[in-house]
């Protein structure tokens, strides 16, 4: 039996608001919250804690997905990558610069694309655009 959760894409206006929505949906009964991290999202989707804990089959309905796609698009992704580049010695600069260059050339992954890839890497999660 599958359990269903709904993300409200209309409230996703930037990267922090994505995580606020993820926390609202998946972490409401926890006494801690996910940080604004793709690794944290990936960990959450493994199902070891939060509302996903113990569920083998999950449907996530993402309402207003196109609003989220636009909010987490090229502009937000460039700002996110630039923020990482502004912290020398913390991240793999060459990889970040390659991602930034690809975006600027029109063929790189946006933050939204990366989020979709993370969801897709969890076969027990069925992501349903709405």
Q: What is the pLDDT of residues 29-85, one digit of tens each?
A: 999 999 999 999 999 999 989 999 999 999 999 999 999 999 999 999 999 999 999
DSSP string, 46-110: TTSSGGGTT-S-EEEEEETHHHHHHHTSHHHHHHHHHHHHTSTTTS-HHHHHHHHHHHHTT-SPP
Q: Where are the domains of the chain?
A: 3-72+111-129, 74-109
Which CATH class, in words, describes the domain spanning 3-72+111-129? alpha beta
Q: What is the pLDDT of residues 76-126, one digit of tens each?
A: 999 999 999 999 889 999 999 999 999 999 999 999 999 999 999 999 999
């Amino acid at each position: 039996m599958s359990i269903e959760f709904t993300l409200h894409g209309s409230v996703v206006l930037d990267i922090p608001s994505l995580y606020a929505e993820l926390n609202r949906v998946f972490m409401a009964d926890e006494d801690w919250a996910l940080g604004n991290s793709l690794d944290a999202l990936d960990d959450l989707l493994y199902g070891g804690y939060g509302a996903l804990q113990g569920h083998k089959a999950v449907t996530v309905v993402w309402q207003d997905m196109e609003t989220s796609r636009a909010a987490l698009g090229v502009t937000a992704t460039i700002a996110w990558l630039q923020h990482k580049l502004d912290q020398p010695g913390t991240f793999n600069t060459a990889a970040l610069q390659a991602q930034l260059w690809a975006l600027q050339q029109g063929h790189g992954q946006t933050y939204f694309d990366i989020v979709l890839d993370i969801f897709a890497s969890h076969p027990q999660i069925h992501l349903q655009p709405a």
